[in-house]
Structure 1
Amino acid sequence: MSSHSLPISSLLALFFLFVLTRVPTILSVDDPRYSTCRETLTCGSVSNISYPFWGLNRLSYCGQPGFELRCENDVAEIMMNENTLRVLDIDPERQILKVAREDYWNGYCPTKFINTSINYDHFNYGSNLRNLTLFYGCNLPTTPTFTVFTNCSINNTLTDMSYATRNMLVDTRYSTCRGIVVVPVYEAAAKDLEVNPMTIQAALRGGFELQWKADNDECRRCRDSDGVCGYNQISNSFTCFCSDKPSETTCLPPTEGTF
């Protein structure tokens, strides 16, 4: 053995010293919020859902208030005021949420007359939409403006139903209506309804788009630094969960040791 050779035990010690100093994250314990929020949410046909949405396996600090999703019978739903909206699709790049009224999914004779309303703090209506106005119990004549479509049995009471695909002005004739409900539909669906009343269920099921507002640039910078986007419920602000601890902006790269 050469006088300059190191014994095996010394070589092993140097190797372990290298591992511990050069790759310190190997022995670090992940922040549980980092691990939890790395998980995506899946419900039925809607999958890989992440920030700003939360629900199920994604705890509330993984997303923003107002973005909770529920999963009912493999159907993703979001509550907005009195409306339960069925989630049809999510486009994270365009920040578009495609939804439909759950109470109009299987018919157009609801048990309650509730106008469509959204949370404007977090969402705006998308483009290429038109209001479909549904009139119940108004006894309105068929005109170029109104289409008398059918009768509905609502809470065991037979009620006539008519609709209009153009915005309506307030009129004293409507004071006798049992209910008036406005539901957004796509422009193309509204045009189809003007010539074919039988497409009304397809128009309602086709839904409408909402565009959400939620720190997209901050989240992108966080993800680029290997962080996970989340929400600080104490300061009510965006936070970036890193493997060791949260950061307000981005995660710092691991510190490399030297020897």
Structure 2
Amino acid sequence: MRKGSTSIASTVLFPDVLAFLLFLVQVQARNLNEADCSSSCGDIHNIKYPFHLKGDPSGCGDPDFEFSCVNNKTILEIFPGKYYVKNISYTDNLLRLVDVNFANGSCSLPSGSIENSDGFVQDVRYKGHVNYTTGSRIRFVKCSRNVTLQNNEKYYYNYTEVPCLTRNGTYTYAVLDGMYTAMDYPPTCSLVSLAPVDYHEDVYKSPTYEAIVKELQAGFDLGWSVECRDCSLAGKHCVIDDKAWDTRPIIFQCAKDYKELTQFEARLIIVGICVAGVIGLLLIVAVLVFVIRKYKKRNKPVKNLQNQQSSTL
């Protein structure tokens, strides 16, 4: 009997012990990568975990967070654009990025759209543009007609023409995000791409294209999160910790799982509720019966005494 109990305990405990050991190995590997690996490219020094440069030794940094070094410039490729890395803040988990097409102040479209049409970064490794204030992105819109302010229509107040891309009857505009965004384009216009910016001026005052180029050339901040990447690999969603909205770096965690009940589990719960209801009802009836009987016993001597007194008289 003792031998059987020991075997069962070993079977139960072994997977937990193995999982714990694997966790320790992963943590140790992460610590080694963070402590021992560091590289540089141009003006960006101390490139360390989770980042690494293409061509670094195997096991240095995380392969999901890779930079390339081209002409002494650190480049991040994502969605499928290319961005110069201007700064890395390991304290705030932020990258300062500039689209390669805007770095020299040239007139062009973005090399890629790091955000979707709703303004959200979809890559689980990078959890979004930090500046969430109004006017945090430029939308590039192509139109088949010249957009002018007619009858004070709402969509035209912040359309700035992109001169190098307007030709052959096709008009391209840089639209600063404001109250009206993707769903408010004129019927003759469609979204081409968008680029995040740190624009803090009045979004209702249409800027010149030179001012827009200056904002694009200045770049934007993008946060990263190894935890969100790990949540995705585990098949879970990544959310901001409810207690850490104002912290830097922003703390992310895996969303809690809400398992749907099976049909059997749902029926079992219903049966349990019914049984509990029946038991509760029986208890109430039992209490009422007990109280009634006790009341009758208490009143019986009084009735007998009344009968004796009436017979005496």
Report the TM range for the smaller structure's normalisation: 0.5 to 0.7
For residue 88 of structure 2, the aligned residue among 87, 90, 102 is 90
The alignment of Structure 1 onto Structure 2 pairs a total of residues equal to 184
Tell me the equivalent position of 2:163. 151
Decide whether aligned partners of structure 1 residues 153 and 163 sit closer, same or farther in structure 2, where only a CA change above 3 A counts: closer
CA contact (8 A) 1:116 1:183 kept: yes
8 Å Cα contact 2:138-2:195 kept in structure 1: yes
Aligned match of 2:183 in 170, 174, 180?
170
Indicate whether 1:120 and 2:118 are aligned: no
User: Which residue does the alignment assign to 1:180?
Assistant: 192
1:176-255 matches, cutoff 5 A: 177=190, 180-188=192-200, 194-214=206-226
> Aligned residue for 1:100?
98
- Superposition deviation, residue 122 in structure 1: 1.2
**Bigger proportion of residues as helix:** 2
**2:46 equivalent in structure 1:** 48
- Post-superposition Cα deviations, 1:135-161, rounded to whole Å, max 9, x if no partner, equal 23443423453333342258x978533
Instruction: Please say if residues 33 and 60 of structure 2, whose CA atoms lie closer than 8 Å, have aligned partners that are also in contact.
Output: no
1:50 to partner: Cα distance: 0.2
CA distance in 1, matches of 2:79, 2:93: 21
Identify the match of residue 135 of structure 1 among 128, 138, 141. Answer: 141
Assess if the C-alpha contact under 8 Å between 2:144 and 2:169 holds in 1: no
Give the superposition deviation at 1:188: 2.3
Gaps in structure 2 of 5+ consecutive residues? 1-28, 116-120, 150-155, 228-313
1:109 maps to which residue? 108
Q: Tell me the TM-score normalized by structure 2.
A: 0.49
For 1:108, the aligned partner's letter is C
Higher strand content, 1 or 2: 1
Question: Residues 186 and 208 of structure 1 are in contact (CA less than 8 Å); yes or no, is this contact kept in structure 2?
Answer: yes
CA distance in 1, matches of 2:43, 2:220: 17
Kindly state the Cα deviation for residue 193 of structure 1 after the two structures are TM-superposed.
Answer: 7.5
Partner of 1:67: 65
Gaps of 5+ in 1: 1-30, 216-259
Structure 2 counterpart of 1:160: 171
Asked if the contact 2:44–2:86 (Cα under 8 Å) also holds between the matched residues in 1, the reply is yes
Over 3 Å counting, the alpha-carbon distance change for 1:209 and 1:192 in structure 2 is farther
CA RMSD of aligned residues (A): 3.7
Distance change in 2, residues 1:126/1:114 (3 Å):
closer
Larger Rg: 1 or 2? 2
> Match of 1:201, SS?
helix
Distance 1:113 1:142, change over 3 A: farther
Contact 1:150 1:162 in 2 (8 A): yes
1:48 partner amino acid: N
Distance change (3 Å), C-alpha of 1:59 and 1:121: farther
What's the offset of the Cα at 1:121? 1.4
